[in-house]
Structure 1
Amino acid sequence: MNKMRKRLVIGFTLAYLFGAGAVIGRAELGTGAAVQKAGADEVTDLRSILEPIRTKHGLPALGGAVVTGKGLEAIGVAGVRKAGTDVPATAEDKWHLGSDTKAMTAYLIAALVEQGKLKWETTVGDAFPELAAAAASSGFGKITIRELLSHRSGLPANIPWGLIPRSQPIREQRLAAVKAASSANIDAGAGTKFLYSNLGYVIAGAMAEQAAGATWEELMKKTVFEPLGMMSAGFGGVGTPGEIDQPWGHGAGGKPVKDYGPDADNPPVMGPAGTVHCTLADWAKFIADLLRGARGEKALLNPAIYEMLQTPPFGGDYALGWGVVEREWGGGNVLTHSGSNTMNLAVAWVAPLRDFAVLIVTNQGPPIAAKACDEAASVLIKNYLKE
């Protein structure tokens, strides 16, 4: 595992959402070219709005989309796939979503609950009785899948992921992560205290694998991507080594990273916590389904499931894969999350009460990228939700 891999973590999420990112709704939303809602068969191009923001912050590329329950309303991508080249980034490119994957993992598990393969109160001990028995004194086996998905398990954020051999089949790698977690120190506030944990999502993914008899990747394709028509969705880094056929990752300072391609990402074992990539249009399909479900309209799962996904189960401001904050522009509570593998950044703001969402992506890591994404989201919210 090289130096690059050691520094790739998916911890940049809540600090942005409830810190700098929370500026949306408080600060001046900014100005930009007016965006008009598209007709039934039209999708507005957002490039003219995104390009000035991209240039201002010096990003290689910046993409955005506006979504309603009906689907994609507007989309645009400005800039280039790799700094120092003139290869344009396009609306058909795939973007790494980082921890925005968590909402999809929670959605998958909700589907398995609906199918009767899991329960919200299924414990680690139910899924892995031998491992739980060996760690009986710590309470590890009593952790529920709902606690894992809401970051209330008391588990640490990460383990030394690089110590898990990639040569093993992926389910064995995740089982190794569960074993490592069984000996980890569990916070005394387990069940009540919020502690953001990528490890918790990996264990939840392993529980899904155990219940359904397939890898998390296979389950995501069969249960989420294919039913929603997300044909571009996949896992890990994007692009072909030696080519510039997808957005190239850039570090915080805007310099292109050395590694490029499927392996330029966190270890695959971390998949449930943050390795999904897809086009903006396909991400919009997932978000549109959430909007429909939240409003009681026809969606992939039943309405009660969407309410469960979008409501903090233990109070606070984190539901299942989503931060929950109140915003006047959203008519009340809105869902939000961001994700980064330090080379890319993806941000989502979803307002079910307004049947509206904004998605922003870039191929550069924070913190500069975070400011740009915040500004882009603010401008689109301002233009689309004119009172």
Structure 2
Amino acid sequence: MPRANKALSERLQSVISDRRVPGAGVVLFGLDRETRIGVAGLRRSGKADRVKAGDFWHLGSVGKSMTATMMLRLHERGVLDLCETVMSGLAGTEAGRLVDARHFSSVTIADLLSHRSGIRANPTYAVFSRYVLFGEARQRINRAAIRQSLTRGIGPASEYQYSNSGYGIAGLIAAHRTGRTWQELIQEHVAEPADLPSLGFGRPEWHGENPWGHRRTYTGRGFTEFKITKRGLDLELMQPAGDVFLSLADLATYGNTHLELLSGEPHALLEPASAARMFDPVGDVMDPIRGGRYALGWHVEDAAPDFGGQRLIWHNGSDLFSFAMIGLLPESRMGFALVTNALQKRWREDQSLVWKPVAEFAALD
């Protein structure tokens, strides 16, 4: 069982108290340093059960890099080609009969992974609510969500438009080509070669004593525990966008694995050419203030202002009931992650609100 660092935990406690978040964890890691974990707060708001260093945390879209890693490994093995079209990847499937050839004739698997496919970000609220609120069968709603994603694009292909559904379509292609589920492929191509024994799927609290998800109170001045039984992420289309959880120790292992890949040296997880492709940004700058662009499963900032102008590789994620953020600094050969069991929406909209306390944590190292 990992032990929590006292200084990190105390600083984290002040951060979550200031932001009224029930519980959180932070981990600092690197290729030349010891992993350090800090935890603070409660697994469930209003209960006495405190967060532990070995708890599991939902990662949300941080898991997109796992799906991208898996797709790159299938590309290396000749199972699929990232340059082939979505129409080719889905040929012979029920989903393939739905593809709008006018929009998707030139959209590739790589476009899906770099958010340049023109696919809508998510199924509509009306589709989600038929499953979550009104109890329609999950498989039926999943088919409706796939149809909605493929029958027409909502933006020009090749232009950046963040899409969870796009990652879902990539997962469907991988499942079709291999005859295995996305979960099985992530276990085989990510969890096992990267040595992540805690990796699992769904909400962490469904798998033992772990932090619960929380929602805003009706007053808006804090969070209350929320017993989650159904979510949009239950749909097969949505899971490859990031329905995974990890312990903080394994999240550090995952981060260190990607720091090793960034070094360009041969690695058992990905060949150097595949690793370079994963971290190579596609297209123009998306954020004129921070200079960020998107690669395959990772945001890339060439000169992050929060970290002395260093190159920053990062991703955040949320299932609306929790939040996660991971960052890698290749020049310093180190990284960090922050996880909480509630979502402060401003954190998702303004990354600097997260990087500021994280930079302070790193200074304690």
Question: Aligned to 2:16, which of 26, 51, 54?
Answer: 54
TM-score between the two structures when normalised by the length of structure 1: 0.79
SS at match of 1:256: strand
1:233 matched to 2:199: yes
Structure 1 counterpart of 2:310, one-letter code? G
- Tell me which residue corresponds to 1:246: 210
For 1:134 and 1:268, locate their aligned partners in 2 and report how far apart those are by CA, in whole Å.
18
> Does structure 1 residue 203 correspond to structure 2 residue 169?
yes
Matched, 1:293 2:295: no
Pair 1:146–1:104, CA change in 2 (3 A) = same
Whether the aligned pair in 1 keeps the contact of 2:326 and 2:338 (CA below 8 Å) is yes
Q: Contact between 1:59 and 1:369, CA under 8 Å: does it hold in 2? A: no
Mark the CA change 1:246 to 1:126 in structure 2 (over 3 Å): closer, same or farther.
same
SS at match of 1:278: strand
Describe the shift of the 1:186–1:256 C-alpha distance in structure 2 as closer, same or farther (beyond 3 A).
Answer: same
| Greater CA drift, 365-374 or 307-316 | 365-374
Gaps of 5+ in 1: 1-40
Q: TM-score, normalised by structure 2?
A: 0.83
Deviations 1:144-195 (A, max 9, x none): 1110011100111112453576553xxx9766644332212342x211x111
Offset from partner CA, 1:32-64 (integer Å, 9 cap, x none): xxxxxxxxx998552122122122222111210
CA distance in 2, matches of 1:105, 1:71: 28
- Which residue in the other structure is 1:5 paired with? none
Mark the CA change 1:260 to 1:125 in structure 2 (over 3 Å): closer, same or farther.
Answer: closer
Preserved contact between residue 61 and residue 241 of structure 2 (Cα < 8 Å): yes
Q: Cα RMSD (Å) of the superposition?
A: 2.8
Point out where structure 2 has 5 or more consecutive residues left out of the alignment. Answer: 286-292
Contact kept, 8 Å, 1:43 with 1:72, in 2: the verdict is no
Q: Which residue of 1 aligns with 2:325?
A: 347
Asked if structure 2 preserves the Cα contact closer than 8 Å seen for 1:257 and 1:343, the reply is no
Q: CA 1:43/1:115 → structure 2, altered by over 3 Å: closer, same or farther? A: farther
Are residues 1:88 and 2:88 paired? Answer: no
Segment drifting more, 134-143 vs 294-303: 134-143
Q: Distance in 1 between matches of 2:275 and 2:28?
A: 20
User: What secondary structure is seen at the aligned counterpart in 2 of 1:321?
Assistant: coil
In 2, Cα distance between equivalents of 1:313 and 1:348 = 20
CA offset digits 1:184-240 (Å, max 9, x no partner): 2342x211x111111101001111111221000110011101222211111111214
In structure 2, the partner of 1:157 is 121
Q: What amino acid does structure 2 have at the position aligned with 1:127?
A: G
Find the aligned partners of 1:56 and 1:109 in 2 and give their Cα distance.
40
Q: Of 118, 124, 128, which residue of structure 1 is paired with 2:86?
A: 124
Query: Are the equivalent residues in 1 in contact too, given 2:56–2:198 (CA < 8 A)?
Result: yes
Superposed, 1:326-337 pairs within 5 Å as: 326-327=303-304, 329=307, 332-337=310-315
Residues 357-376 of structure 1 aligned to structure 2 (within 5 Å): 357-367=335-345, 373-376=354-357
Q: CA deviation at 1:292?
A: 0.4
Q: Give the letter for the 2:43 counterpart.
A: R
TM-aligned CA distance change 1:287 to 1:100, over 3 Å: same
Alpha carbons 1:240, 1:260 under 8 Å: kept: no
Alpha-carbon deviations, 1:263-316, whole Å to 9, x = none?
Answer: 466324211112111111111111111100110245321122111111113343
1:185 aligns with 2:149: no
CA contact (8 A) 2:261 2:275 kept: yes
Counterpart mapping for 1:132-143 below 5 A: 135=99, 137-143=101-107
Of all paired residues, the percent bearing the same amino acid is: 31
Structure-2 separation of matches of 1:207 and 1:346: 27
Name 1:22's counterpart in structure 2.
none
Larger strand percent:
2
* Stretch moving more, 251-260 or 336-345: 251-260
Q: Residue 304 of structure 1: which of 264, 273, 281 is its match?
A: 273
> Please, which of 321, 325, 342 is the counterpart of residue 297 of structure 2?
321
Instruction: Give the aligned residue type for 2:90.
Output: F
8 A contact 1:76–1:91 mirrored in 2: yes
2:37 alignment counterpart: 75
- Cα 1:298–1:285 change in 2 (3 A) is farther
Aligned to 1:144: 108
How big is each residue's C-alpha offset from its partner over 1:99-131, in whole Å with a ceiling of 9 and x where there is no partner?
A: 111111111111111111121202111122355
